[in-house]
Structure formats: C-alpha cells, structure tokens
Amino acid sequence: KAGVTQTPRYLIKTRGQQVTLSCSPISGHRSVSWYQQTPGQGLQFLFEYFSETQRNKGNFPGRFSGRQFSNSRSEMNVSTLELGDSALYLCASSFGWETEAFFGQGTRLTVV
Amino acid sequence: GENVEQHPSTLSVQEGDSAVIKCTYSDSASNYFPWYKQELGKRPQLIIDIRSNVGEKKDQRIAVTLNKTAKHFSLHITETQPEDSAVYFCAELGGGADGLTFGKGTHLIIQP
C-alpha cells in the first residue's frame, strides 16, 4: 500500500510569490490534514479536508488556503509569501477524524 | 485542542534504561492521544495512541498511560536502544475544530 505522497519535496520562493503544494493520501483515506512545522512553533494545524469539504481550520491567516479533489488528493496554497512562511509543510491522511494519521515526508519551503 | 505542555524538552538516558515523557492538556473534551516519533529529516510516525476510555496501553517496549482527571498522559519506553533516539511528540484531539494539537517535542538521546 503506497504511503502519503507530497510534492514537491523542496521549494525555494521569493517574498510576495505564491506557492501550491500537493498531497496524495493513502488509498481509501478521505481525510487530509495539513500542518506547518518550524523549530520555534513546532507542529501547528492548518486545516483538514474530508470528502472535498474543509471541516476544520487552524489559526492561520487567509493567505493559507486549501482544497480537496474528488479522488481525495489535496492541495494547499500560500499567497503573498513572507519570510516567516519558511517551514516544513506536512500533510497527513486518515480514514476518519479520530483514527491514525499517516504523515507524508513533507515539503520544505524556503522563502527568500 | 487549546494547549499541550510536554516535558522534558531533552532527555538523555543510558542504553537499556527506561525513558518517560509527560504531557498535560487543557481541553476536557480531548479524547484521542497519539504519540509520534520523528527521526532527523524524516516524517513523524505514530508509535502508539490511546483513547479516553482506556487508562493504559502497551505495545512491546512502549506504553502510554492516561489520567483524564489530572489531564495528563505519559509515554514509557523500556530497555531503550540506540534506534530509539529521535524527537517524540505527544498530541491530543479535542472536541473543537482545530485538528491535532502537538506538544513541542522531546529530543530523546540514548547514550551507548
């Protein structure tokens, strides 16, 4: 069974640009959550999608958005990038809300 | 959700000894408590989880205990081995809409 796949693995962007990250969940999983990991703030919840609907949202500005497609693949978008957006972005898929979440390898975003 | 305190931030133990990591939470509606292990440069991986209707769960050398009254849960690793060296995160899933709330992590170092 293939694991959670995130693309790309690494990205370098300039301040003010926008970026789109992709996450393919484990087959059969309908819930996809996104997290931001930084040395200072640790792992912080961004949002969660289930069956193409955003069910939950963390405390991040509106520049962070996402969506989920009918095949459960998810994308997150960050517009008007800031230096502070540099982080490892992890997605996790699970069968349901209170079930084991499997993480992808993450996308390392560097904003310069 | 809300807040999860994790201690210690760094733990160094001799190979073969036991390691204990503790977390406290504030959301009384929390009912799912996973523990993740993250090796350097790798994704977080679930090592054990516990639900609020259970006080203790064990899987080989790893155990988790939960005290709902005191709102704390602990990870116990016995007979530690070099491959146990990693950062360990506790997390909880509350009754709100903010996904998994993670502790800041414990860097576990196994001394040979």
Q: Which tens digit of pLDDT belongs to each residue from A52-96?
A: 999 888 999 999 999 999 999 999 999 999 999 999 999 999 987
**With 80 as the cut, is the pLDDT of residue B1 above it?**
no
> Which residues of chain B does A53 touch, with a Cβ-Cβ cutoff of 8 Å?
none
Measuring CA to CA, which residue among B5, B96, B50 is closest to residue A55? Answer: B96
Please tell me the distance in Å from A87's CA to the nearest CA on chain B: 13
Handedness of CA A94, A99, A100, A103 (dihedral sign): positive
Which three-class secondary structure string do you get for A39-56? CCCEEEEEEEEECCEEEE
How does the average pLDDT of chain B come out, rounded?
93
| CB–CB contact A43 B43 (8 Å) | no
Is the predicted pLDDT of residue B13 greater than 80, yes or no? Answer: yes
Q: Is the pLDDT score of B96 beyond 60?
A: yes
Residue to substitute from A26, A41, A45, A98, interface B, most B β-carbons within 10 A: A45
So what's the pLDDT on residue A20? 98
Give per-residue pLDDT as tens, B54-93.
Answer: 899 999 999 999 999 999 999 999 999 999 999 999 999 8
Q: Is the dihedral of CA A61, B35, B80, A106 positive or negative?
A: negative
